[in-house]
Amino acid sequence: MIENARNFREAPQAGQRGGRHAHILVLDDEVTLGQLLGLILQAIGHQATICSSPNEALQLLAAGQFDLVLSDLNMPEMNGREFYEQATQQQPGLAGRILFLTGDSFSEEARRFIESTGNPYLDKPFRLDEVKEAINVALAHLAPPVEGASLAA
C-alpha cells in the first residue's frame, strides 16, 4: 500500500512525465522482487535498471541519470537510510526522487526516517495498481527535466 503520499493525493495521474518515459533505478537485495518490479515498470511504460547492491546503485547513480529510485529499506550490505544519505550527498537532487520499499519489519525508527524525508513508500507485498499509483504520484511532482542538466543541485 502506498503510504506517506497524503500531500500528493491531488496530483494528476500521469504514467509518464511530460510525455516521456521515466528511467527508474530499482534497488532491492531480493533479486526476484527487483526483477518483478522491473517487469512491472516496463509494462507501464518506463525503463528500469535493476540492481541488488546499494554500492552498485551508488555507482549507477554516479554514472547515469535516473528520474526516480525505488529503494528497499532493509538490506544487509547497507540499509535504506544509509543508501539515501550517501545517494543524496553524492547528488542532492535525488532527495525527493527516492521511493522506499518496506516489508513487515518496519520499525518506529524507520518510520520516523521516512517521514523525515517526506518521500512516499510502498509496503511489501504490494499490488500492481499500488506500484503504478506510487510511480505516478512520485513522477507527477518532479520538475520537468532540463536537457543536459544533472540531478545535482
Q: Which of 28-42, 79-93, 107-121 has the lowest mean pLDDT?
A: 107-121
pLDDT attached to residue 16: 41
Residue spans of the domains in the chain: they are: 2-7+37-140
Report which residue type is found at 26: V
Q: pLDDT digits over 89-134, tens only?
A: 999 999 999 999 987 656 888 888 999 998 888 988 888 899 999 8
Q: Which of 41-50, 66-75, 103-112, 126-135 has the lowest mean pLDDT?
A: 103-112
Q: For residue 40, what are the CA distances in angstroms to 16, 48, 68, 82, 113? A: 14, 9, 15, 26, 27
Task: Please tell me which residue, 29 or 139, carries the higher pLDDT value.
Answer: 29
Q: Residue 71: which of 129, 127, 16, 117 has the closest Cα?
A: 117
Report which residue type is found at 105: S
CATH no., domain 2-7+37-140: 3.40.50.2300
Q: List all residues 6 or more positions away from 82 whose beta carbon is below 8 Å from its beta carbon.
A: 54
Is 51's pLDDT higher than 80?
yes
DSSP state letter for 53: -
Distance CA 58, CA 6 (A): 29
Distance CA 82, CA 71 (A): 11
Model confidence, pTM = 0.80
Q: Residue 18: which of 45, 41, 50 has the closest Cα?
A: 45
